[in-house]
Chains A and B, each alone.
Chain A
Amino acid sequence: MALLDGLLGPLEIALNRVLATSPQALEVLAAERDALQLSLRDLNWSFQLAPVKHGLVLTPVGTTPRASISTSLVGLARLAGGEDARSLGAALRIEGDAEYAEQIFTALRGAGVDWQAEMASLLGPGLLGRTRGWLDGGRDLLRDWLQHNAHAELVAAPDSAADVSMDALDQLAMQIDRCEARLARLEGQSR
């Protein structure tokens, strides 16, 4: 999915910044070269992680990986958080060299980083916050455009089309509100 592949660069940079604080993890990764494929079912997104001397390289799906992991975002967070792969049951599917996949994840867990918190900050409130920013910007832009057209009487904007757009934005805003409330609840439960 090309749109999400655009996130690979920033994601890799963030990941390697965290890994740079763990020479042990870097040492384990530096000894390996083969790609591990990660498929996030809920995002319908697959990419590959390959170890290099200074951390991990994230690339779109390309070469044949040594192992493939297919899971959800929650499954990934649980795996990264230290849960045993077997306890995830059907939520996790590993194909290929499962031992290799486990070795890479063990190295990442060994970095002594709270991956769940890191992922939550990247994919949770951070992403929601950015989406809300875009949404507010889009709303303002649409409102300004409608007002401009109404005042200048340049183009009679069809009311129904404008209403549909505004409704869609309102629906999205409601979904974001729900996600934020759910995150807050989950955060409360984990304390």
Chain B
Amino acid sequence: MSKPSTHFGYTAVPWDDKPGRVAAVFDSVASRYDLMNDLMSLGVHRAWKRFAVDLACIQRNDRVLDLAAGTGDLAALMASRLGERGSLVMSDYNAAMLGEGRDRIIDQGLAAQIRYVQADAEALPFADDSFDCITISFGLRNVRDKERALRSMFRVLAPGGRLLVLEFSQPRHPLLAKIYDAYSFEVIPRIGQLVAQDADSYRYLAESIRVHPGPDELQSMVEAAGFERTQYHSLTGGIVAVHRGYKF
């Protein structure tokens, strides 16, 4: 049976092509990723991430897996809350991003508790029940088969553990949605061109957000993967949402 096509932003691409295309985007933007995030979100992404980490309620002895860890800003926040017996694995599909993240973690003096694993979220290379908390921040929409990835996360999460997904969502107010659309498609690619010399990657970012499931649909997907007590918190008028689910 032939594999279905999938989307890469607004473009339909063969199923097997998406990972390579997403990898190329992040290879291109890795070195300017944090600067671009600050510019695009006017620094608000730091508050979103802090809120997600606060909701994760990291305990000192937790075993944490940070997927799509990228440049490691979420991992750094969480690592600072772990005790000596706690541990954190930073994982990313993209080697360039993981390398950037590792360098930053070392620079911040947090390397002792952190390991780095290049892995595909759809097939996590960890034993069942290995982690107390799994986070994925602005990464799920780049995953080809989200249902499969969520099932994989459920498998490696220990009973009592929680999953937190921080992801772009849908602005609730129509006026905000219009402003947000104009900003995403007109301003962000230009900033991308100016700062990272790459407008296309940032156009993909805007498109990938539009084809990502809305908050209710994503919550249903999280539930379908086996998570319980699922809920989401909409932030900044619904521009992003933090989803959470528990494995019991």
Q: Do A and B come from one complex?
A: yes
Q: Which A residues lie at the B interface, using CB under 8 A?
A: 6, 8-9, 12-13, 16, 20, 30, 33, 50, 52-55, 57, 59-60
Instruction: Choose among A6, A16, A52, A54 the residue with the greatest number of B CB atoms under 10 Å from its CB.
Output: A54
Roughly how many angstroms separate A53 CA and B60 CA in the complex, as a whole number? 13
Q: A33-B248, A52-B160, A52-B246 are in contact. Are A13 and B231 (CB under 8 A)?
A: no
The 7 A-B residue pairs whose C-beta atoms are closest, nearest first, are A53-B160, A13-B54, A9-B233, A54-B57, A16-B57, A59-B231, A54-B59
Q: List 6 A-B contacts (CB under 8 A).
A: A6-B233, A9-B51, A52-B160, A53-B132, A55-B57, A57-B231
Set of chain A residues within 8 Å of B229, measured between Cβ atoms? 50, 52, 57, 59
Roughly how many angstroms separate A59 CA and B246 CA in the complex, as a whole number? 13
Any chain A CB within 8 A of the CB of B162? yes
Any chain A CB within 8 A of the CB of B55? yes
Instruction: Known pairs A9-B55, A59-B231; list 18 more (Cβ under 8 Å).
Output: A6-B233, A8-B233, A9-B233, A9-B242, A12-B55, A13-B51, A13-B57, A20-B57, A20-B59, A52-B162, A52-B229, A53-B59, A53-B132, A53-B160, A54-B59, A55-B57, A57-B231, A57-B246
Closest chain A residue, CB of each to CB of B234: A6
Residues 180-224 of B, flagged 1 when their CB comes within 8 A of A and 0 if not, give 000000000000000000000000000000000000000000000
Closest chain B residue, CB of each to CB of A60: B231
Set of chain B residues within 8 Å of A53, measured between Cβ atoms? 59, 132, 160
Roughly how many angstroms separate A33 CA and B234 CA in the complex, as a whole number? 25
CB distance from A169 to the nearest CB of B (A): 23
Roughly how many angstroms separate A13 CA and B56 CA in the complex, as a whole number? 9
Set of chain B residues within 8 Å of A12, measured between Cβ atoms? 55
Set of chain B residues within 8 Å of A50, measured between Cβ atoms? 229
CB distance from A6 to the nearest CB of B (A): 8
Within 8 A of A (CB), among B220-248: 229, 231, 233-234, 242, 244, 246, 248
Roughly how many angstroms separate A26 CA and B49 CA in the complex, as a whole number? 25
Which of A6, A13, A20, A33 has a CB less than 8 Å from the CB of B55? Answer: A13
Closest chain A residue, CB of each to CB of B81: A20
Closest chain A residue, CB of each to CB of B160: A53
Closest chain A residue, CB of each to CB of B244: A57
Set of chain B residues within 8 Å of A54, measured between Cβ atoms? 57, 59
Roughly how many angstroms separate A57 CA and B57 CA in the complex, as a whole number? 10
Roughly how many angstroms separate A6 CA and B160 CA in the complex, as a whole number? 25
Set of chain B residues within 8 Å of A59, measured between Cβ atoms? 229, 231
Set of chain B residues within 8 Å of A60, measured between Cβ atoms? 231
CB distance from A8 to the nearest CB of B (A): 8
Closest chain B residue, CB of each to CB of A35: B229
Set of chain B residues within 8 Å of A57, measured between Cβ atoms? 229, 231, 244, 246
CB distance from A63 to the nearest CB of B (A): 8
Set of chain A residues within 8 Å of B51, measured between Cβ atoms? 9, 13
Roughly how many angstroms separate A16 CA and B55 CA in the complex, as a whole number? 9
Closest chain A residue, CB of each to CB of B52: A9
Within 8 A of A (CB), among B16-33: none
Set of chain B residues within 8 Å of A13, measured between Cβ atoms? 51, 54-55, 57
Roughly how many angstroms separate A13 CA and B51 CA in the complex, as a whole number? 9
Roughly how many angstroms separate A30 CA and B233 CA in the complex, as a whole number? 23
Instruction: Choose among B57, B229, B234, B246 the residue with the greatest number of A CB atoms under 10 Å from its CB.
Output: B57
Within 8 A of A (CB), among B56-72: 57, 59
CB distance from A190 to the nearest CB of B (A): 31
Set of chain A residues within 8 Å of B160, measured between Cβ atoms? 30, 52-53
Within 8 A of A (CB), among B142-179: 160, 162
Roughly how many angstroms separate A52 CA and B229 CA in the complex, as a whole number? 10
CB distance from B233 to the nearest CB of A (A): 5
Within 8 A of A (CB), among B30-84: 51, 54-55, 57, 59
